[in-house]
Amino acid sequence: MTWFKWHALVQILTAAVCLGTPYNACAEVPPSPGTLSLPPATPEPSQSLLLVQQLPGVSDTPEFDLQRSLETYGAQPSTTSPESFQLGTFDGPSGTRLANNFTAAPEFEGGLIIVGENVASKIGGYVKADLIYDFDPIGSTDSFDTSTIPTSGAPHRNVRFHARQSRLSLDTRWRSDDDVAKTFVEADFFGGSAESSSLRLRHAYGTFKRLTVGKTWTTFTDPSAVPQTLDVEGAVSNVNRRQGLVRWDQPIIPDFLSVAFAVEDPQVRIESPVLIPGTARTETPDFITRIRLENERGDFQGAFVLRELGFQPEDRPVITETAWGFNFSGAYLVFPDTKGYYQITFGDGIGSYRGSPDVVPTGLDSAAILPSFGWMVGVKHEWTDRLTSNITFSRLSLGDLPGQDPDNLRSTTYFAANLIANPYERIFCGVEYLYGLREDVSGARGAAHRLQMSFGFFLP
């Protein structure tokens, strides 16, 4: 190979190396006299710095003018702020909302908010790990469901670690007709079995002006009176059901008095007699109305439900009966850092609103609607801006109907006391003592004690 060919090959290899280096670095090397002169190497498209330099309307350094670049390509940064999507209906100041609230939706400010032209979305939720130690037998290991406490059998203890209460939510809002429309979706991991920990839909609803449609808190409950326990189950008499509904809220005195009317998903629990097997039927929705008074210090709510219970014996027509119930609840700031709350619930055939049957057998071939009466009181206190406590006591009593199975639930008691610390912003840890008591129709009793520790991180 001649000297000229060797030098030509060297120049070609040099040019190939320059394809992976900045252009100016290669341009500073002059060709040797009498050798083959190649054109400057073209930068690879994968070099982001060179691509930026070639964009029209962008300066020759990485520190370019974003506003000028957006205008060049027809894009404009949003001038909308998250505050413009806040509305008293959704985000009105609640005088009873203290720290470490596991019931209310995340506030629509700060954190992960995506703002576009006339629309904004907030990503919220939290990660919560629960470490549970049971001193006594209980059937519900992930939550403190006192109705699963056995009244007989050998004693044993239980240890359980899980993170199923962790939640993820998306709050989206936009302006329409000089008002704000909102959709809210939230899920946790209490779906399926304890081993699978599948997603469970908690909320999925939209609201605009006075109309709310979707799945959310039933109109029969008062979310501000739901106890803030580390335990996800909550008080035995507290109505904390979420279900599909169509609701109309009508203000009477703005920011003070309102009424609501709703048709909601009828969930019926019927325990059929042994000799008359059949299926529960829901042929009409539940009709619920409520009246609500609220101000800066607290609220009072009275709700009424009217429902039809259906049961169809095998190969026979559906049998229906009317059921009803009242729920009176409220919360009030006794002191700026102390909130008291309560609830009184009673009626016939409303057990499914709190996890008990609506109809129970009273014999081998007979059944009856089950009356129920429940009450709850609680106090939440902020010791400092980093330390809160909650104490809750509640009791639920079911009707003592003649002919019931001796093993049927007669009454149950729930007590919870916790201490929650916030050592750093959006980080919490706490400990909670839980006590439960179950009494059967026969008079047999069973008690359970639990200690639960929780660690969590609120999404910004």
**The tokens 């979706």 sit on which residue?**
185
Report the pLDDT averaged over residues 264-289: 93
The whole-number pLDDT of residue 118 equals 87
Cα gap 389→422, rounded to integer Å:
12
Residue 67 above 70 pLDDT? Answer: no
Q: How confident is the model at residue 9 (pLDDT cuts 50, 70, 90)?
A: very low
Cα gap 283→265, rounded to integer Å:
10
String of DSSP letters for 155-169: ---EEEEE-TT-EEE
Report the pLDDT averaged over residues 264-282: 92
Residue 376 CA: distances (Å) to CA of 329, 336, 446: 9, 22, 21
Residue 335 CA: distances (Å) to CA of 96, 98, 225, 294: 10, 12, 16, 16
Residue 161 above 90 pLDDT? Answer: yes
Cα gap 200→167, rounded to integer Å:
10
Lowest mean pLDDT among 75-89, 105-119, 260-274, 397-411: 75-89
Better-scored residue on pLDDT, 247 or 19: 247
**The tokens 């040797």 sit on which residue?**
32
Cα gap 373→412, rounded to integer Å:
11
| Per-chain mean pLDDT for the chain | 84
Cα gap 252→430, rounded to integer Å:
41
For residue 203, what are its two tokens? 């909320």
The whole-number pLDDT of residue 42 equals 41
For residue 141, what are its two tokens? 């290991």
72 DSSP assignment: H
Cα gap 215→185, rounded to integer Å:
9
The whole-number pLDDT of residue 99 equals 82
Percent of the chain with pLDDT over 70: 80
Q: How confident is the model at residue 323 (pLDDT cuts 50, 70, 90)?
A: very high
Does pTM surpass 0.75?
A: yes
The whole-number pLDDT of residue 197 equals 86
Q: What are phi and psi of 119, to 5 degrees?
A: -155, 150
Lowest mean pLDDT among 45-49, 127-131, 379-383: 45-49
Residue 105 CA: distances (Å) to CA of 126, 162, 190, 444: 11, 23, 18, 41
The whole-number pLDDT of residue 79 equals 53
Residue count (the chain): 460
The whole-number pLDDT of residue 51 equals 31
**The tokens 């964009």 sit on which residue?**
55
| Helix (H/G/I), strand (E/B), else coil: 71 | helix
For residue 360, what are its two tokens? 């129970």
Cα gap 38→44, rounded to integer Å:
17
* Cross-strand bridge partners of residue 391: 379, 417
The whole-number pLDDT of residue 11 equals 52
Q: What is the pLDDT of residues 366-381, one digit of tens each?
A: 999 999 999 999 999 9
Lowest mean pLDDT among 44-53, 274-283, 369-378, 387-396: 44-53
Q: What is the pLDDT of residues 82-95, one digit of tens each?
A: 677 776 667 655 54
Report the pLDDT averaged over residues 37-64: 38
Cα gap 202→125, rounded to integer Å:
12
Q: What is the pLDDT of residues 181-237, one digit of tens each?
A: 999 999 999 998 878 889 999 999 999 999 999 999 999 999 889 999 999 998 888
Contact between 270 and 280 under an 8 Å Cβ cutoff? The reply is yes
Cα gap 232→450, rounded to integer Å:
13
Q: Give me the sign of the Cα torsion angle 106, 112, 115, 119.
A: negative
The whole-number pLDDT of residue 89 equals 66
For residue 240, what are its two tokens? 């904390």
Residue 134 CA: distances (Å) to CA of 172, 283, 451: 40, 42, 7
The whole-number pLDDT of residue 5 equals 45
Q: How confident is the model at residue 287 (pLDDT cuts 50, 70, 90)?
A: very high
Cα gap 210→258, rounded to integer Å:
11
Q: Is 152 exposed, middle or buried (0-12, 13-18, 19+ CB in 10 A)?
A: exposed
For residue 102, what are its two tokens? 């596991």
Residue 74 above 70 pLDDT? Answer: no
Residue 62 above 70 pLDDT? Answer: no
Report the pLDDT averaged over residues 277-306: 94
HSE, CB side, 13 Å, CA atoms: give it for residue 91: 15
The whole-number pLDDT of residue 126 equals 96
Residue 167 above 60 pLDDT? Answer: yes
The whole-number pLDDT of residue 123 equals 94
The whole-number pLDDT of residue 227 equals 92
Lowest mean pLDDT among 86-90, 134-138, 230-234, 434-438: 86-90
Residue 22 CA: distances (Å) to CA of 30, 49, 149: 16, 10, 73
What type of residue sits at position 27?
A
**Pairing verdict, β 286-294 and 366-369:** unpaired
Percent of the chain with pLDDT over 90: 66
